[in-house]
Amino acid sequence: MRTFGPRAVRALGTTAVVAAVFVTPGTAAAAPGDSGSPRFTAGATGAGDAYFPYAGAGGYDVLHYGLELRYSPPPPAPAPLEGRLTGTATIELTATSDLDRFSLDLRGLDVASLTIDGHAARELAGPSASGQGQKGPVYWQEQDNDARVWELPVRPRPKLHRGEHAVVVVHYGGTTGRPTDIEDALYGWVTTRDGAMVANEPEAAMTWYPVSDHPTDKATYDIAVTVPQGKVAVANGLPAGPPLTSNGWTRWAWHAPDPMASYLSTASVGDYTLRASTSPDGTPIIDAIDDSLTASNLARTNASLAKQGAILEFFADTFTPYPFVAAGAIVDDDSIGYALETQTRPIYSRGAGEGTVAHELAHQWFGDSVSPARWKDIWLNEGWATYCSWLWADHSGGQSVQSAFEDVMAIPADDEFWQLDVTDPQPLGLFDDAVYDRGAAAIHALRQQVGDDAFSAATRLWLTRYKGSTATTEDFQRVYEEVSGQDLDAFFDTWLRQPARPSQP
């Protein structure tokens, strides 16, 4: 979610960014007389998402990212708001086809070297951003900012056979700024005066490490960030040992053992105070609070974060046990102006309200554990998280779920709100109000349609069957049909797809 109120604010928007592979997919002929020889191909130029056709990649499955970063924040104003990031990414993957070449997404950073299983990647030649051919000693990159294309092709030698495990090591770095999507909204590695606020949705992980940047390629992570002494670096999961300081630099290491989509990773840096607590089920809660929050924002944030344990317990009792090893928050005083459900540690810009905290914690189940298989399915994230915030408000003595539902249904029938097909909102509609609120209203109507018992059982099945994975709207419908025994085609069309306000059940 990227909003602070009960209605979604499309503060970040989205992007039709592509990260294209500028190699020609093809096949290598089998050896003469040996029809059983592998036919090596180039990995697909993306994960196949209609909204971001070149985000992610094909031909391999990433198992683990090991990121070792070193970051220098900008000097004080009036110096440019630019930092310096260097990194080593150790990427463990398995080939899912016989690969002659494949790609990683990387935006705006330079690669110094790239090896596969200790062997330098073979030299590649390809078109540069200016259209001129170029060669590098180890790699070439496509960095066409006008066309919004950022790509790092990789050519393994020896070639990779299907099922073969490989380790890719990339040394890279460059100047960091404040990257934006096509609506000029900030995302990715956003440089701040005191560090960086890192929020990747939908496909900006590539602004700080080489990655297969699509939710369908989940992986585990180890993230270590070395920063000037006095700064704090916060990532996903649990600390991997205490911070270590030497020669004026401190290394902060984090371990995230649960499968995670790249857009949910973070490595935010700032003048944070770390606070630790525990949820009722024993889950560690680690919060990072920006020291520069105003007194009023700090008071509101503290009151909201104090309820994290109770919110987690409520959702665990309502749905399934909390799916990750840790929980918590990163609260930054920056101008980005949205919240995001980064896995185990949601990000809140400018403080955190209770409704927003409930929304982002609900995402740990709906969006993080079960992620969208296609970006068009984002209503499964945002509709559910909005509905869960209604549930929490009702449970804690606030507005009832029925009243929140009626507020949505009171939107006039001729309002453009009802024109959006929330199962296919298009790239510029990913964060439209209707994705959140019409999505939540549809979930409440679904509960009324199938009954409380079937609704509860189907929701638990949904979260169990697709835990740690991805799924589609069609998968979601099938689960509720399976449990309820009802044909829900007409229901889903009426409540989610048709450009008209549904009649209340």
CATH code, domain with 112: 2.60.40.1730
Residue 429 in any domain: the answer is yes
State the CATH number of the domain containing residue 482: 1.10.390.10
The conformation of residue 416, written as its DSSP 8-state character, comes to: G
- Tens digit of each residue's pLDDT (9 = 90 or more) over 242-298: 999 999 999 999 999 999 999 999 999 999 999 999 999 999 999 999 999 999 999
Q: Which of 195, 203, 229, 221 is nearest to 330 (CA)?
A: 195
**Are 353 and 378 contained in the same domain?**
no
Residue 298 in any domain: the answer is yes
**Are 380 and 462 contained in the same domain?**
yes
Full-model pTM: 0.90
Residue 54 in any domain: the answer is yes
HEC profile for 382-397?
Answer: HHHHHHHHHHHHHHCC
When comparing pLDDT for 21 and 245, which is higher?
245
Q: Give the list of residues 6+ apart from residue 41 with CB closer than 8 angstroms, or none.
A: 25, 26, 27, 28, 59, 97, 98, 99, 100
Q: Which residues pair with 196 in a beta bridge?
A: 191, 269
Q: Each residue of 294-307: b (16+ CB within 10 Å) or e?
A: eeebbebbbebbeb
Residue 311 in any domain: the answer is yes
The residue behind tokens 């994290």 is 308
**Are 490 and 356 contained in the same domain?**
no
Question: How much is the pLDDT for 7?
Answer: 31
Q: Do residues 288 and 333 touch, judged by C-beta distance below 8 A? A: no
**Are 396 and 493 contained in the same domain?**
yes
Q: Each residue of 3-17: b (16+ CB within 10 Å) or e?
A: bbebebebbbbbbeb
Residue 505 in any domain: the answer is no
> In whole angstroms, how far apart are CA 491 and each of 411, 424, 441, 457, 494?
20, 16, 12, 19, 5
Q: Which of 109, 124, 134, 348 is nearest to 211 (CA)?
A: 109
**Are 61 and 147 contained in the same domain?**
yes
Q: Each residue of 128-143: b (16+ CB within 10 Å) or e?
A: ebeeeeeeeebbbbbb
**Are 135 and 11 contained in the same domain?**
yes
Question: How much is the pLDDT for 53?
Answer: 85
Question: pLDDT confidence of 410, banded at 50, 70, 90?
Answer: very high
**Are 474 and 355 contained in the same domain?**
no
Q: Which of 203, 170, 198 is nearest to 71 (CA)?
A: 198
Q: Which residues pair with 95 in a beta bridge?
A: 60
> Sign of the CA dihedral 63, 69, 73, 79?
negative
Number of domains in the chain: 3
- Tens digit of each residue's pLDDT (9 = 90 or more) over 89-144: 999 999 999 999 999 999 999 999 999 999 987 544 444 333 333 334 345 566 66
Q: Which H or E run contains 106?
A: none
Q: Which residues pair with 356 in a beta bridge?
A: none
**Structure tokens given for 271:** 């003048």
pLDDT average, residue stretch 209-216: 97
Question: pLDDT confidence of 36, banded at 50, 70, 90?
Answer: low
Q: Which of 85, 30, 19, 31 is nearest to 58 (CA)?
A: 19
- Tens digit of each residue's pLDDT (9 = 90 or more) over 334-349: 767 789 999 999 999 8
**Are 313 and 421 contained in the same domain?**
no
**Are 286 and 419 contained in the same domain?**
no
Please say which residue of 269, 292, 320 terminates a domain: 269
- Write down how long the chain is: 505
- Tens digit of each residue's pLDDT (9 = 90 or more) over 132-167: 333 343 455 666 665 555 778 999 999 999 999 999
**Are 172 and 211 contained in the same domain?**
yes
Parent domain of 69: 1-29+38-269
**What are the DSSP E strand ranges found in 333-452?**
339-340, 347-349, 370-372
Q: Which of 463, 275, 223, 483 is nearest to 363 (CA)?
A: 463
3-state SS class at 311: helix
Residue 504 in any domain: the answer is no
Q: Each residue of 326-363: b (16+ CB within 10 Å) or e?
A: bbbbbbbbbebebbbbbbbbbbbbbbbbbbbbbbbbbb
Question: How much is the pLDDT for 64?
Answer: 98
Quote the CA–CA distance of 439 and 376 in Å, as a whole number: 13
